[in-house]
């Protein structure tokens, strides 16, 4: 099991092109399950591939335990990687696909057989060992790809969107399987995804990336409760956090049109326009006297909750309610934002000005 | 009614394209088969039926077996190098040589040059005293064979020309096939530390195997039908050392005017080709991965 350390790592594919990874710093502890998450093209795969040794590191240092590995070839980094498109050998059986790495490394036949069978057992692949990949379902293929990584007893698992080719149900199932595997094996894992649900459910820590810059590193709870900026706030959580134009006047938080939202107990170093962030499930219903008006545009029944879409003054918002509440199109409802759930962002640089969650700085 | 019209339509659209096939392929084949049971001499208007005499004569003659041996030798030594050189060139191009398209067209140009023209140029190159090859061999003080006039080397000369012509063509097919191998398969083996040779063995060869089968069958047929280069360079000589089955057929038909015997040989060639193609197809189930 291995610690990984990235120090000021950067990547530039060609001399002429721009950097795609900037000053990447991350300390990964033994047995962690780190998830890189971010929109398409933000550099998740690039970073993972630099760690794997499939892509050169053009700046900074990569350490594994106490060894600088910038120039250590892939095979000597003791990693196993799972690819998005499975990367199975079409001409080999499931058995031979799983055994591939061991065979290349010239492990003894008897040991290969034992290990492959054991791995197949863990992943429920025993009945398929003689089949070729083309005769397997997507989920089974992904399990074979996983098996090829597991069987190697590597110290680090790297996974690049391993579940993105699966349907929603299978994805949930495989997600559990990977979590279970990580619990049993304890292998340090880096997992790339653009799906915030996978990030939230699987990670011990999440690294949120955008345009090659780290936006925030933290546990799922930290990232969810205390996002550093509007990007993180909107990327993590579904439906996304609402952003409402507001202003701070004399420590009082008001809507753009001047309606009172909540008083600020703790003075902040910012006056005038702010962006108020509030998660859909944090909003509570109120009455005309003590609430802000929202015009309902449409309602989505999700089963366990009700998503109400509409407008509060000029800002679009979504709120998540108990499905028993009777709200329909064109209704006007009244909302209250509990002060301990409010986030404030600077409209100029989108950085967080204030995080209330877990703090006691707010007073009614 | 509708059904009848459907049948008519089918006959119309399938039948019309079949007409040339019948006229230029099926019909001559039948005529040739029929001639192989006669002793027609190509000129006289009359001939007799001789039963299977032509076949027994052919199958018992030394010349036939000599030519069969030459054909097999020629086929094996053109197919194997064509495949290996073609794949090797394709791999080189894939490694991203500079001036890719330029190289590709250079390597492919022999294929679009007519064999006759190429053979003429090559027969100069192979000339014993002033030919380019012996000049070069001379600089290095290597033996300078008589090439086209020595029965030990004439077949090799023909083989070299044929491989030269076909390797670029094989390369194009392989280049296309290689470009379809997903990159992550190579990366999987990089992570495991596979050597270049191991990658060739475990990834490239199995994944291009359908193309290899295709090339082997086409090259085999091509080898059996080789004529131009032999005609231009050696005319089957010296001492019959480059006389393949097809060339023997040509000599029987148009030098000895023994049409009956020649067409019998032609039938045998067609049979051999068919059996060969079928058996290759069959054997391929073991090593071709689709
Ligand atoms: N081989 C390459 N050469 C040049 N630029 C590249 C190369 N590979 C990726 N890039 C660029 O690097 C940036 C990051 O790409 P990367 O593949 O790491 O994104 P990603 O976060 O994995 O996205 P996705 O979710 O779509 O897989 C992109 O702008 C991309 O265009
Ligand atoms: Mg990617």
Residues in B closer than 8 angstroms to A100, CB to CB, are 188-189, 192, 202
End-to-end CA distance of chain A: 50
CA distance linking residue A243 with residue A207, whole number of Å: 23
For chain B, give the percent of residues with pLDDT over 70: 98
Q: Report pLDDT for A238.
A: 85
Domain ranges of chain B: 55-289
Query: CB–CB of B185 and A75 under 8 A?
Result: no
Q: Report pLDDT for A62.
A: 94
Q: Each residue of B37-50: b (16+ CB within 10 Å) or e?
A: bbbbeeeeeeeeeb
Query: Among A75, A90, A148, whose Cβ lies nearest the Cβ of B193?
Result: A75
Interface test with B, best of A48, A55, A81, A99 (most B CBs within 10 A): A81
Averaged over successive runs of 10 residues, the pLDDT of chain A (364 residues) comes to: 89 91 94 94 94 93 92 92 91 94 91 93 90 90 91 92 86 90 92 93 95 94 92 92 90 85 77 91 89 92 92 91 89 89 91 67 36
pLDDT(B145) > 90: no
Residue A86 burial class via C-beta count within 10 angstroms: exposed 0-12, middle 13-18, buried 19 and up: buried
3-class SS of residue A119: helix
Q: Report pLDDT for A363.
A: 36
Contact B287/A at CB under 8 A: no
CA-based nearest residue in chain A for residue B197:
A104
Interface test with B, best of A75, A132, A161 (most B CBs within 10 A): A75
Interface test with A, best of B185, B186, B188 (most A CBs within 10 A): B188
Q: Report pLDDT for B97.
A: 63
Query: CB–CB of A105 and B193 under 8 A?
Result: yes
pLDDT tens for residues B172-205? Answer: 899 999 989 998 999 999 998 889 999 999 999 9
Protein residue whose Cα sits closest to atom 8 of ligand 1:
A46
Domain ranges of chain A: 4-230, 242-355
Q: Report pLDDT for A360.
A: 38
Q: Report pLDDT for B52.
A: 82
Q: Identify which ligand lies nearest to the alpha carbon of A55.
A: 1
pLDDT(B89) > 80: yes
Q: Each residue of B55-88: b (16+ CB within 10 Å) or e?
A: bebbeeeeebebbbebbebbbebbbebbbebbbb
Ligand 2 center from residue A41 Cα (angstroms): 7
Contact B191/A at CB under 8 A: yes
**Entry field: residues in chain B:** 290
Q: Report pLDDT for A364.
A: 34
Q: Identify the H or E element spanning A172.
A: helix A168-185
Q: Identify the H or E element spanning A25.
A: strand A19-28
Residues in B closer than 8 angstroms to A80, CB to CB, are 191
* Spatial strand order in the sheet of A33-37: A79-82, A156-160, A188-193, A33-37, A205-210, A213-218
pLDDT(B109) > 90: no
Confidence at B98, pLDDT banded by 50, 70, 90? low
Q: Which CATH superfamily is domain A242-355 in?
A: Nucleic acid-binding proteins (2.40.50.140)
Q: Report pLDDT for B204.
A: 93
Structurally, what CATH architecture does the domain formed by B55-289 represent? Orthogonal Bundle (1.10)
Q: Which CATH number is A4-230 given?
A: 3.40.50.300
CA distance A120 to chain B (A): 19
Ligand 2 center from residue A43 Cα (angstroms): 7
Of A244-258, A306-320, B43-57, B148-162, the one with minimum mean pLDDT is B43-57
Q: Using H for helix, E for strand and C for coil, what is the string for chain B?
A: CHHHHHHHHHHHHHHHHHHHHHHHHHHHHHHHHHHCCECCCCCCCCCCECCCHHHHHHHHCHHHHHHHHHHHHHHHHHHHHHHHHHHHHHHHHHCCCCCHHHHHHHHHHHHHCCHHHHHHHHHHHCCCCCCHHHHHHHHCCCCCCCHHHCCCCHHHHHHHHHHHHHHHHHHHHHHHHHHCCCHHHHHHHHHHCCCHHHHHHHHHHHHCHHHHHHHHHHHHHHHHCCCHHHHHHCCCCCCCCCCCHHHHHHHHHHCCCCHHHHHHHHHHHHHHHHHHHHHHHHHHHHCCCC
Q: Report pLDDT for A50.
A: 95
* Best probe residue, ligand 1, of A11, A12, A13, A191 (max atoms within 8 Å of C-beta): A13
User: Residues A46, A40: contact at Cβ < 8 Å?
Assistant: no
């Amino acid at each position: 099991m291995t610690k990984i350390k990235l120090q000021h790592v950067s990547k530039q594919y060609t001399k002429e092109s721009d950097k795609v990874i900037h000053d990447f710093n991350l300390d990964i502890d033994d047995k962690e399950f780190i998830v890189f998450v971010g929109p398409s093209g933000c550099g998740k795969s690039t970073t993972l591939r630099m760690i794997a040794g499939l892509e050169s590191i053009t700046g900074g240092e990569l350490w594994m335990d106490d060894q600088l590995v910038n120039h250590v070839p892939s095979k000597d980094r003791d990693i196993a990687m799972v690819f998005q498109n499975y990367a199975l050998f079409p001409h080999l059986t499931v058995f031979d696909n799983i055994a591939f790495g061991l065979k290349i490394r010239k492990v003894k036949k008897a040991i290969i057989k034992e290990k492959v069978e054991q791995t197949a057992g863990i992943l429920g692949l025993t009945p398929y060992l003689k089949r070729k990949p083309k005769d397997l379902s997507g989920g089974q293929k992904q399990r074979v790809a996983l098996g090829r990584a597991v069987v190697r007893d590597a110290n680090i698992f790297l996974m690049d969107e391993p579940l993105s080719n699966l349907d929603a149900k299978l994805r949930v199932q495989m997600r559990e399987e990977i979590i279970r595997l990580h619990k049993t094996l304890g292998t340090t894992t880096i997992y790339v995804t653009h799906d915030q649900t996978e990030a939230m459910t699987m990670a011990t820590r999440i690294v949120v990336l955008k345009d090659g810059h780290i936006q925030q590193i933290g546990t799922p709870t930290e990232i969810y409760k205390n996002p550093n900026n509007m990007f993180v706030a909107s990327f993590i959580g579904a439906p996304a956090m609402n952003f409402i134009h507001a202003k701070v006047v004399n420590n009082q938080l008001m809507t753009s049109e001047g309606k009172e939202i909540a008083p600020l107990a703790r003075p902040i170093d910012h006056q005038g326009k702010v962006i108020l962030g509030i998660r859909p499930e944090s909003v509570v219903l109120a009455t005309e006297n003590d609430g802000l008006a929202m015009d309902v545009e449409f309602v989505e029944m999700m089963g366990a909750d009700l998503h109400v879409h509409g407008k509060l003054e000029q800002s679009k918002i979504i709120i998540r309610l108990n499905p028993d509440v009777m709200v329909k199109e064109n209704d006007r409802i009244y909302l209250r934002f509990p002060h301990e759930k409010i986030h404030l962002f600077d409209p100029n640089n989108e950085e967080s000005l204030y995080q209330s969650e877990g703090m006691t700085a707010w007073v009614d | 009614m509708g059904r009848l019209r459907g049948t008519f339509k089918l006959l119309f659209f399938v039948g019309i394209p079949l007409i040339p096939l019948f006229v230029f392929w099926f019909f001559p084949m039948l005529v040739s088969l029929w001639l192989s049971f006669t002793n027609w001499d190509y000129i006289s208007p009359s001939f007799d039926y001789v039963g299977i005499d032509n076949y027994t004569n052919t199958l018992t003659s030394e010349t036939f077996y000599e030519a069969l041996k030459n054909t097999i030798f020629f086929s094996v030594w053109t197919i194997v190098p064509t495949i290996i050189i073609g794949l090797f060139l394709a791999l080189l191009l894939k490694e991203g040589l500079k001036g890719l398209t330029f190289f590709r067209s250079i390597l492919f140009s022999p294929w679009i040059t007519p064999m006759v023209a190429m053979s003429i140029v090559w027969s100069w190159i192979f000339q014993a005293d002033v030919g380019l090859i012996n000049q070069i061999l001379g600089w290095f003080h290597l033996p300078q064979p008589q090439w086209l006039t020595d029965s030990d080397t004439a077949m090799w000369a023909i083989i070299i020309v044929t491989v030269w012509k076909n390797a670029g063509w094989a390369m194009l097919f392989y280049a296309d096939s290689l470009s379809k191998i997903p990159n992550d398969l190579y990366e999987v083996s990089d992570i495991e530390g596979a050597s270049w040779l191991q990658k060739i063995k475990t990834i490239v060869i199995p994944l291009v195997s359908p193309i290899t089968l295709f090339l082997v069958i086409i090259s085999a047929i091509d080898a059996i039908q080789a004529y131009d280069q032999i005609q231009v360079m050696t005319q089957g000589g010296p001492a019959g050392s480059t006389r393949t089955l097809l060339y023997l057929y040509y000599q029987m038909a148009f030098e000895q005017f023994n049409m009956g015997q020649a067409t019998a040989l032609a039938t045998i060639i067609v049979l051999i080709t068919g059996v060969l193609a079928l058996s290759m197809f069959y054997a391929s189930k073991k090593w071709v991965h689709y």
